[in-house]
Structure 1
């Protein structure tokens, strides 16, 4: 399977999963308190996932930039 097909398949799987997960709170009648709890847990999950992806990517980018700067400094 080529790269485009794998990314397309993973994107489609994420689309379906997110849609199903997003419709669960709409299909179930929650009390006001439980709806707030679901909202807070969803926001926490979203923020935690974003931080788990963004922070390592940022550190990796900074580390690569630092290594490129050191290698170009040594060459001159």
Structure 2
């Protein structure tokens, strides 16, 4: 399976999963207290994902760019004229 097909398949699976998970609270009658609990759970899941995945990826990308810049600068040859 090529890269485009696998990314497309994963995107469609995520779309369906998010739609189903988002429509569950709308389809079921929850009390006010249970609805607050579900909201807090969703917010915690979002923050946990950001802390565990997204922020480290961004920091890694920044450091990778900085390190590549230092490597490129150190490879510059200096030519001196007599």
Would you say same fold, with TM above 0.5?
yes
The Cα of 1:75 is off from its aligned counterpart by 18
Which runs of 5 or more structure 1 residues have no equivalent in the other structure?
none
State how far apart, in whole Å, the 2-side matches of 1:75 and 1:44 are: 63
State how far apart, in whole Å, the 2-side matches of 1:21 and 1:48 are: 18
1:75 corresponds to 2:71: no
Which contiguous aligned blocks of 4+ residues in structure 1 show a shift greater than 6 angstroms?
Answer: none
**Count of aligned pairs between the two proteins:** 72
The alpha-carbon distance between structure 1 residues 75 and 55, as it changes in their structure 2 partners (threshold 3 A), is farther
| Structure-2-length-normalised TM-score | 0.76
| Structure-1-length-normalised TM-score | 0.81
State how far apart, in whole Å, the 1-side matches of 2:50 and 2:19 are: 19
The alpha-carbon distance between structure 1 residues 75 and 65, as it changes in their structure 2 partners (threshold 3 A), is farther
Which runs of 5 or more structure 2 residues have no equivalent in the other structure?
70-79
Cα-Cα RMSD: 3.7
Greater Rg over alpha carbons, structure: 2
